[in-house]
């Protein structure tokens, strides 16, 4: 998994590329936590366009960051998951707590 | 049902092997007429079963072995994922959605396996290990059977 992270104002853009499973979950978690901490990110936009696979380990990392960000009054948005990834997100119930947008700009507008 | 192929995998209980297992089983299953969506679901089920063996069965101890057996009939992938780890105390409880012994996990591994596969069952003995058995059919047995005969 490759990870592109960009901070814009108080929103952290996360663009993982590859597969989010148990093999990368720890690295993914650490990278997000360090950046959220360092940049004082309030909101999180996770762009899943380039994620080809996710399982419950990958979703667990997203849920953990959701809990952390929302505790501080922030929002977590999901952008453009591929159909097979979306199916898993949907079944997990995460799409009921994290809004989904077709692109980063729309997500950013909604965060306001 | 006529068996047309079988395979056995045995690998160390390390997280990197989750991807190895799912890609291998999906490649094996692709000998049947599964759709790409079916193969993606099989990959999720394998990841969850192998992940559970590593996380819960072996509690992250990296020098144990996870075993995966798979067989193909004309229209069905049958598979078994085994560990010799600590076992599940209460299988019924473990199968409940959102049950997890780890705060940062969703407790949905078994839910995904049950949703994406058929004939799902778990056998476990404390101190002896856990076996997850599941299958998935293509729904194309007639077409394939006619090709073979």
pTM of this structure:
0.93
Q: Is B5 a catalytic residue?
A: no
Nearest CA in chain A to B51: A22
Decide: B53 and B13 in contact? Cβ < 8 Å.
Answer: yes
pLDDT (tens digit, 9 = 90+) per residue, A71-84? 989 999 999 999 99
ipTM: 0.94
pLDDT for B103: 52
Q: CB atoms < 10 A from the CB of B85, how many?
A: 23
> What are the residue boundaries of the structural domains of chain A, listed by start?
2-107
- Residue B68 region by backbone torsions, left for phi larger than 0, else alpha for psi between -120 and 50, else beta: beta
Contacts of residue A88 in chain B, CB cutoff 8 Å?
A: 44, 112
Mind listing the domains of chain B with CATH numbers? 3-144 (3.30.565.10)
The answer to whether B128 is a known catalytic residue is no
* C-alpha to C-alpha distances, B67 to B21, B25, B106, nearest whole angstrom: 10, 12, 24
Which tops the pLDDT comparison, A36 or B48? B48
Q: Is residue B17 annotated as part of the catalytic site, yes or no?
A: no
> How many other C-beta atoms are found inside a 10 Å radius of the C-beta of residue B104?
14
Decide if B111 touches A, using CB distance below 8 A. Answer: yes
Residue B66 has a pLDDT of: 98
Residue A19 CB partners (closer than 8 Å, separation 6+): A1, A51, A52, A53, A54, A58, B19
CATH class for the region spanning A2-107: alpha beta
Q: What is the pLDDT of residue B96?
A: 85
In the predicted structure, residue A54 carries a pLDDT above the cut 50: yes
Helices (H), B5-98: 16-29, 36-52, 91-94
**What is the residue-level pLDDT of chain B in tens, covering all 149 positions?**
799 999 999 999 999 999 999 999 999 999 999 999 999 999 999 999 999 999 999 999 999 999 999 999 999 999 999 999 999 999 988 888 765 555 566 778 999 999 999 999 999 999 999 999 999 999 865 544 445 44
Interchain CB distance below 8 Å, A29 and B104: yes
């Amino acid at each position: 998994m490759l990870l592109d992270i960009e901070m814009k104002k108080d929103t952290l853009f996360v663009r993982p590329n590859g597969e989010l499973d148990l093999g990368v979950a720890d690295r993914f978690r650490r990278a997000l936590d360090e950046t959220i901490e360092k940049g004082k990110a309030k909101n999180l936009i996770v762009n899943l366009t380039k994620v080809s696979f996710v399982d419950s380990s990958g979703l667990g990392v997203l849920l953990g960051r959701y809990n952390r960000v929302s505790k501080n009054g922030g929002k977590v948005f999901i952008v453009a998951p591929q159909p097979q990834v979306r199916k898993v997100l949907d079944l997990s119930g995460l799409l009921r707590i994290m809004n989904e947008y077709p692109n980063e700009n729309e997500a950013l507008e909604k965060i306001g | 049902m006529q068996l047309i192929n079988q395979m056995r995998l045995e690998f160390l209980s390390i997280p990197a092997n989750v991807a190895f297992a799912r890609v291998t089983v999906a490649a094996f299953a692709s000998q049947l007429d599964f759709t790409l969506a079916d193969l993606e679901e099989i990959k999720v089920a394998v990841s969850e079963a192998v992940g559970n063996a590593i996380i819960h069965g072996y509690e992250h101890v990296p020098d144990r072995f996870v075993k995966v057996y798979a067989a193909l009939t004309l229209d069905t992938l049958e598979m078994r994922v085994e560990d010799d780890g600590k076992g599940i105390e209460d299988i019924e409880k473990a199968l409940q959605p959102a049950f997890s012994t780890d705060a940062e996990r969703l407790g949905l591994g078994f839910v995904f396996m049950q949703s994406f596969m058929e004939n799902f069952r778990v056998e476990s003995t404390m101190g002896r290990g856990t076996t997850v058995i599941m299958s998935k059919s293509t729904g194309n047995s007639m077409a394939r059977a006619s090709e073979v005969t």
